[in-house]
Amino acid sequence: MSRFFSRNFAALTPYTPGEQPQDKQYIKLNTNESPFPPSPRAQAMATKAAAHLELYPDPTCRALRERLGALHGLTADEVIVTNGSDEVLSFAFMAYGDNGVMFPDITYGFYRVFAQLYRLPYTEVPLKEDFTIAIEDYKGRQETVFIANPNAPTGKALSRAEIRQVLENNRDNVVVVDEAYVDFGAESAVPLVKEYDNLLVVQTFSKSRSMAGARLGYAFGNAAIIADLETIKYSTNPYNVNRLTLLLGEATVEAEDYYQSKCAAIRATRNWTAKALESLGFEVLPSDANFLFARSPQVSGETMYTALKKKGILVRHFTNPKISDFNRITIGTPEQMEVFITKVKEVLYENL
Ligand SMILES: *Cc1c(COP(=O)(O)O)cnc(C)c1O
């Protein structure tokens, strides 16, 4: 730290992204990316957009907002488009933090970082013993509620009826539902946007839409909520989404069938992988996402992580003692998961 750094940020512990090592080729099962490339149409769009990079992008992101809205029966005024969903989450913490914020103790690690960055009082609500969210704890609150649904890194989703209960019991504070993984099998809260003026639903192109590298996120909410977030966007970075990414996004929305079939493939591979791990003695939490959270009674989470890395496979290990027995395993292609299971067997054998 330099001696010039603001006192406001000196104590900040920044978010630690999953490893993106450049030293060798790994089977990357650590950051929940899609194992499939973007649709051919989306790739072609990027080339086309490259010819006009001398111009700024449309700061209103109008065309993409209209398309995203149309997909869900909403208008462009009920959609905001951002540089990854991390950015719209950041805006929501800024916009709705005055009465504090709350989120599960085991969830997306960025929530705590944003709370600290914006110096908001925050409550971390323990998960139940089975690692699911106890919705009773989120009723009748003062704070803004942040729920990842499905939750990460645990994988289980709440039903739309449960999300509705949380909304119903927090009419005077905002509820943010982060649906980064919703396309892998959970019920979306988007149909509730018309009913609840306190709901913000956050989604991303990073996981189910094979575009983690393009950085594109979005959120749906009542037009007044979206206007708040636009105020923050225009006060920080009006051209937050670049020209290439905007066009890629539009082409992606038009390739729903391509992505739906990839999501179905990932669900099938997820179920195969869960069974394979269970047959090796692992406890595997039920997952509605494109990853599994699993622990072996025989080998510690850290040993498994380290041994797999040596064998060329990256999974995500968290040091938080509540979940340090586990690893989070992104679902790749069937071929990748077969190699993964072979390597897991080797590690188990080497640690008998
Ligand atoms: C990956 C992830 C995000 C952020 O994704 P972006 O790449 O910034 O869109 C947000 N929330 C959760 C729960 C995630 O897992």
Ligand 1 binding pocket includes 186 (Cβ within 6 Å): no
> For ligand 1, is residue 219 a contact (CB within 6 Å)?
no
CA distance 138 to 140: 7
Give the Cα-Cα-Cα angle 142, 87, 127 (nearest 5 degrees). Answer: 45
Specify the ligand 1 atom closest to the Cα of 32. Answer: 1
Find, among 202, 245, 213, the residue nearest to 111 by Cα. 202
Helix (H, G, I), strand (E, B) or coil at 236: helix
In angstroms, what is the span from residue 16 Cα to ligand 1's centroid? Answer: 13
How many CB atoms are closer than 10 A to CB 311? 16
Residue 348 alpha carbon to ligand 1 centre in Å: 32
**76-124 confidence digits (pLDDT tens):** 999 999 999 999 999 999 999 999 999 999 999 999 999 999 999 999 9
Average pLDDT on 239-256 reads 95
pLDDT tens for 223-247 read: 999 999 999 999 999 999 999 999 9
Q: Beta 122-125 vs 101-104: how paired, if at all?
A: parallel
Residue of the nearest CA to atom 5 in ligand 1? 85
What pLDDT is attached to residue 242?
96
Q: How many residues belong to the chain?
A: 352
Asked if the model's pLDDT at residue 45 lies above 90, the reply is: no
Cα 19 to averaged position of ligand 1 atoms, centre (Å):
15
Residue 252 CA to ligand 1 center (angstroms) comes to 18
Average pLDDT of the chain, as a whole number: 96
Alpha helices in 134-222 (DSSP H): 160-168
Pairing assessment for the beta strands 27-28 and 313-314 based on DSSP bridges: parallel
Q: What is the pLDDT of residue 231?
A: 98
User: 349 CA distance to ligand 1 centroid (A)?
Assistant: 35
The pLDDT of residue 29 is 97
Model confidence band, residue 47 (pLDDT cutoffs 50, 70, 90):
confident
**CB of 180 closer than 6 A to ligand 1?**
yes
**Is pLDDT at 22 greater than 90 in this prediction?**
no
Digit-coded pLDDT (tens) for 192-213: 999 999 999 999 999 999 999 9
Which of the 8 DSSP states describes residue 59? Answer: T
Residue whose CB lies within 8 A of the most ligand 1 atoms, among 20, 80, 86, for a mutation test:
86
| Average pLDDT estimate for 5-27 | 90
Distance from the alpha carbon of residue 303 to the mean position of ligand 1, in angstroms: 27
Return the pLDDT at 117.
Answer: 97
Residue 184: its pLDDT value, please? 97
Name the pLDDT band for 24 (thresholds 50, 70, 90).
Answer: confident
* pLDDT greater than 90 at residue 46: no
What is the pLDDT at residue 222?
Answer: 97
**For position 202, what pLDDT does the model report?**
98
User: What does the pLDDT read at residue 76?
Assistant: 98
155: Cβ below 6 Å to ligand 1? no
For ligand 1, whether the C-beta of 152 sits within 6 Å is yes
The finding on whether 84 has its CB within 6 A of some atom of ligand 1 is yes
Atom of ligand 1 nearest to the CA of 108: 13
Distance CA 85, CA 219 (A): 8
- Judge whether residue 51 has pLDDT over 90: no
The predicted pLDDT at position 292 comes to 98
How far apart, in whole angstroms, are the C-alpha atoms of residue 189 and residue 166? 11
pLDDT over 90 at 19, yes or no: no
Residues 138-183 pLDDT 10s: 999 999 999 999 999 999 999 999 999 999 999 999 999 999 999 9
| Structure confidence at residue 116 (pLDDT) | 97
| Nearest protein Cα to ligand 1, atom 12 | 180
Q: Give which of 45, 69, 1 is closest to 219, Cα–Cα.
A: 69
**Residue 287 Cα to ligand 1 middle (Å):** 17
Ligand 1 binding pocket includes 284 (Cβ within 6 Å)? no
Q: Which atom of ligand 1 is nearest to the CA of 206?
A: 7
**Residue 153 beta carbon below 6 angstroms from any ligand 1 atom:** no
Q: Verify whether ligand 1 is closer than 6 Å to residue 88 (CB atom).
A: no
Q: Please identify, by atom number, the ligand 1 atom nearest to the C-alpha of residue 83.
A: 8
Q: Is the pLDDT of residue 276 over 90?
A: yes
